[in-house]
Structure 1
């Protein structure tokens, strides 16, 4: 009893003391860390999400956080491309096809990722495509043509992000004599290496703040440095279904997402992370339902990793969307016009479950003499072919196309296009500040900015035309194009010379490097800079 009375007295005294001192008496509260994880499932229509759920046989992580829809049209078309869609979600502005973080007038617009970095947050991107591809590029670079992988890659290196994980190693290295082959094992029409002679791989590896890895093992081993760059493929990473057998050294999207979160979460203020499951779109362009399902489920597992962290943390907003539809996949086709009332789900999923590989993974194992054609077809779930069906496959110029057509027919799946589609898409959200309802894709970055405590409007005039800006200040200004692959804005006044190299985050004052807050952008004949002095 005496012990109880003593504890009671101590408790009362502590309570009185708590009310005796003002809250500002040297004990100012520290604002909680805030994090945003923005996840984009590229080129995904609603039917493939439904089909993936049935294929899996249970619910998706995404199902638990469905909050609304997103309108996807671009500034010039009812059907957007990934560049314009990514730009809308990164900057809040509708723009033209192929533009990367540039407004419709062709001027660079600061992205929400860049604004978060400038506001003290750690930043990162994760992608199963080359990181120079349209969606990750839209958050980290500024060009007028999404195919300018060389400029995009250089800007990304000089953005000094905390984490970059994905493909695209080819655009970090100088042009080589050996041709690089693409996803379809055919020579690409655009150069798959750097033509400006710069070795950005060496730049990354020589930076003491970065650790670099090219394998999934490196995600867990490289913990000594502040920053992490993982380039796991020359171009895109393997489809998830193919990865174990064909590319086991490549990480999954879930593994990259988890590693990125672990690295970014040590920042004292918080972080902004963009994650793209890129290859639903790639499979959709091929009309490959197996590849599409593979990547939807891969993305959903990555969402699961983000939600695990957000649930533990309590101050993390997770938002997931798709940037646009693709392929017009439907459960049901003309063969089910009169029988759709009597089609169990196994009608659709059964033929697809027989596939051991995506069409890309299966076809990649086809020998030059096609002697193993039957085995390849079987690995894609196509066994028991009729004589006519086999002859079509044997004589096909585009074997992959014939394979997906036959599997789709067997699975009673329809496709309306090999291109993008313009429907509204699902919006998923979890955590404080999450959006809800049917919204424009341009509203998304403002939601992130509000939660993280800054305004994108304050960065609206971030970039200026360098020549005009400095001429108004009494300088002479010109663009030095003697090296057409590495143009430089040259500004002079008296004995002072300022040189702004394209895509770099510094300028040279009489030969001495001075760091800038943003990368220099040369696009459409104009040299854009941010002058923060």
Structure 2
């Protein structure tokens, strides 16, 4: 990989984007302070949240969002191949400083068509690349990830794993377990266990046992989480994702996003070297895909509460940088549709918001109560805010071939909302930040990785030269005979032999076997479908 060339190109991109890296301190830092405290970073991502979702949420709340005071610029979200990004390359960009391709998690792109994105050498396509969490860990900092989706979902995965497809939950889960993070909170228990679940492990490994053996306090409900005294916590609060915030009325065993954020900060901040934490409000994106404004608002306000927890800590600590941003837009939501083409000058706020306030549950939550024969459709519709149905409306819901679509369209019509798509959108998103070194201006998503790594004192370029070497080339250069053993497709192993030395390195783990003796490495080893990648440390251990 031509690192020096890339740095020059990246500098050009930053100049083009108006990137500003400020040195201001928060208002409560005294200039006379002489004690240098460790740096902390809290990276917060609201998945798939367009600016109109924030506008709508503000009106719904009835007052300013706490986020408003933190607005410091905008972020461009395009990927290496498209003006509209998927969550996987968007998170990869923010975690590693490299734009990538659709579905790629923590690896370099294989296709580059977007302007100002440097091409990748053929040999380096899909090569794993270091992320800021791994950099923080190398500095001895505590690390953690939090999400309301499965913890193996695209965004948390990009900060903790490396794979060529975001759906490789089995590989992602295993890398996360062996990554050595301190706090992991979210859903996704299914990917930790063998079984019949569609996300269950095919390799037969019980990763919950591994987690326990590694000394984590494995918790599965809010009470256990909040009462835990451990410095290492793994919270698996659902087999899949956690419920929407608004749907938690009868599901109080799950912690909220702000609960998880508060607890993660409490635990990680015990580390004298500082910490890095990534927090994702995941399900706003899912609601947007369904054009469900109730789910979108619910998750935006839940995310806002989590940001308040982070900023409250940062204000007291004075050495914590908080960055909050959406990874991309979604749905093309707009306040105002064709019905308001001529009436918009005198349509009051209440006409947009009052219909939404009728809802008690998200689309997903309301439909969970639906009978198979739809005999209770009127009750379900009312839970979603569709009250006082006309005979025609009731009949349309009873007969709808796509009930989800019918319900969201009916609510959107009542609230005068418009949607352009059920997919992602390519607009810039608002950048929110607080603390020393906060970024400002219109920046690229890859600039976020630079800001965070610079503030922590991490060199991602140096890490990339140490962490992910082509195992075949590395070991053959020292006279080893090598092979990648695919005999068990669920547990691929790199093997190297020389004289009386036999080396085995399994994928997705941070271990190496030398003549049958197990050694723990700093970093996980990765197989990307065409090459096996290990750290320089793996060769050093083999040669001792």
Distance 2:188 2:219 in 1: 13
Does residue 369 (structure 1) correspond to residue 373 (structure 2)? The answer is: yes
Helix, strand or coil: the match of 1:445? helix
Question: Does the CA contact (< 8 Å) of 1:106 and 1:524 recur in 2?
Answer: no
Q: Give runs of aligned pairs for residues 420-499 of structure 1, distance below 5 A.
A: 420-461=424-465, 462-499=467-504
Could you list the per-position Cα deviations for residues 356-386 of structure 1 after superposition, in whole angstroms to 9, with x for gaps in the alignment?
Answer: 0001100100112222111111111112222
State the match for 1:123 in structure 2: 143
CA shift digits 1:467-489 (9 cap, x unpaired)? 12111110000011111110100
Determine the C-alpha separation between the residues in 2 that align with 1:294 and 1:106.
Answer: 36
Q: Which residue of 1 aligns with 2:129?
A: 109
Tell me if the contact between 2:156 and 2:278 (Cα under 8 Å) persists in the aligned partners: yes
Task: Decide which of 156, 176, 198 is 2:205's aligned counterpart.
Answer: 198
RMSD of aligned Cα (Å) = 1.0
Cα distance in 1 between the residues matched to 2:534 and 2:322: 32
Query: What's the offset of the Cα at 1:531?
Result: 2.2
Does residue 69 in structure 1 map to residue 74 in structure 2?
yes
Which residue does the alignment assign to 2:352? 348
Q: What residue number does 1:287 align with? A: 291
Which of 523, 526, 529 in structure 1 is aligned with 2:531? 526
2:308 is equivalent to residue 304 of structure 1: yes
Q: Indicate the residue corresponding to 1:212 in structure 2.
A: 218
Which residue number in structure 2 is paired with residue 509 of structure 1?
514
Question: Residue 505 of structure 1 contacts residue 516 of structure 1 at CA under 8 Å; is this kept in 2?
Answer: yes
How far apart, in 1, do the equivalents of 2:495 and 2:188 lie? 31
1-structure distance, mates of 2:437, 2:273: 17
Q: CA deviation at 1:299?
A: 0.1
User: Match of 1:457, SS?
Assistant: helix
Runs of 4+ in 1 over 2 A off after TM superposition: none
**1:226 matched residue in structure 2:** 231
Name the structure 2 match of 1:59: 64
Matches of 1:447 and 1:101, distance apart in 2: 18
TM-score computed with the length of structure 2 as normaliser: 0.89
Distance in 2 of aligned mates of 1:88 and 1:525: 22
Instruction: Tell me the SS of whatever aligns to 1:129.
Output: strand
Supply the distance in 1 between the matched residues of 2:459 and 2:480 (Cα, whole angstroms). 32
Structure 1 residues 463-514: Cα deviation after superposition (integer angstroms, max 9, x where no partner):
1111121111100000111111101001101111010001010110011111
Give the CA deviation at 1:60: 1.0
**Partners of 2:203 and 2:506 in 1: CA distance:** 13
Secondary structure in 2 aligned to 1:146?
Answer: coil
1:198-256 Cα deviation digits (max 9, x unpaired): 11011112222x10100011122211x320000000011000000122x2110100000
Alpha-carbon displacement from aligned partner over 1:88-107 (angstroms, at most 9, x marks no partner): 00000011111000011100
**Counterpart-to-counterpart distance in 1, 2:291 and 2:35:** 52
Could you tell me how far apart the structure 1 residues matched to 2:240 and 2:518 are?
Answer: 32
Task: Give 1:157's match in structure 2, choosing from 160, 169, 177.
Answer: 177
Q: Is contact 2:366-2:383 (8 Å) kept?
A: yes
Question: 2:389 matched to which residue of 1?
Answer: 385
- Work out whether residues 501 and 515 of structure 2, in 8 Å CA contact, stay in contact via their aligned partners in 1: yes
Q: 2:60 aligned with 1:40, yes or no?
A: no
- Conserved? CA contact 2:358–2:387, under 8 Å: no
Match of 1:419 in 2: 423
Counterpart mapping for 1:164-179 below 5 A: 164-176=184-196
1:14-43 Cα deviation digits (max 9, x unpaired): xxxxxxxxxxxxxxx763121110100000
Instruction: Name the SS of the counterpart of 2:508 in structure 1.
Output: coil
Verify: 1:142 aligned to 2:162, yes or no.
yes
Equivalent residues in 2 for 1:393-412 (5 A)?
Answer: 393-412=397-416
Q: 2:88 aligns with which of 69, 83, 88?
A: 83
**Aligned-partner Cα distance in 2 for 1:206–1:498:** 24
Secondary structure of the 1:69 match is: strand
1:235 matched to 2:240? The reply is yes
Taking the TM superposition and a 5 Å limit, the aligned residue runs for 1:322-361 are 322-361=326-365
Counterparts of 1:236 and 1:401, CA distance in 2: 22
Number of residue pairs aligned between Structure 1 and Structure 2: 489
Q: TM-score under structure 1 normalisation?
A: 0.91
Larger CA deviation: 464-473 vs 45-54: 464-473
Distance 2:255 2:427 in 1: 32
Shift of 1:424: 0.4
The separation in 2 between residues aligned to 1:52 and 1:74, in whole angstroms, is 27
Q: Tell me the alpha carbon deviations over residues 303-333 of structure 1, each in whole angstroms, 9 at most, x when there is no partner.
A: 0100111111111111000000000000000
CA–CA distance in structure 2, aligned partners of residues 61 and 30 of structure 1: 31
Instruction: Name the CA distance, whole Å, in 2 between partners of 1:79 and 1:483.
Output: 37
Shift of 1:87: 0.4
Match of 1:16 in 2: none
Say if 2:231 and 2:268, in contact at 8 Å, map to a contact too.
no
Secondary structure of the 2:439 match is: coil
Specify the SS of the correspondent of 1:258. helix
Describe the superposition over 1:248-269 as per-residue Cα deviations: whole angstroms up to 9, x where unpaired: 1101000000000000000001
Q: Is the 8 A contact 2:145 2:183 kept in 1?
A: yes
CA drift of 1:143 comes to 0.2
d(CA) in 1 for partners of 2:95, 2:65: 26
SS in 1 for 2:518: strand
- Secondary structure (helix, strand or coil) at the match of 1:383 reads coil
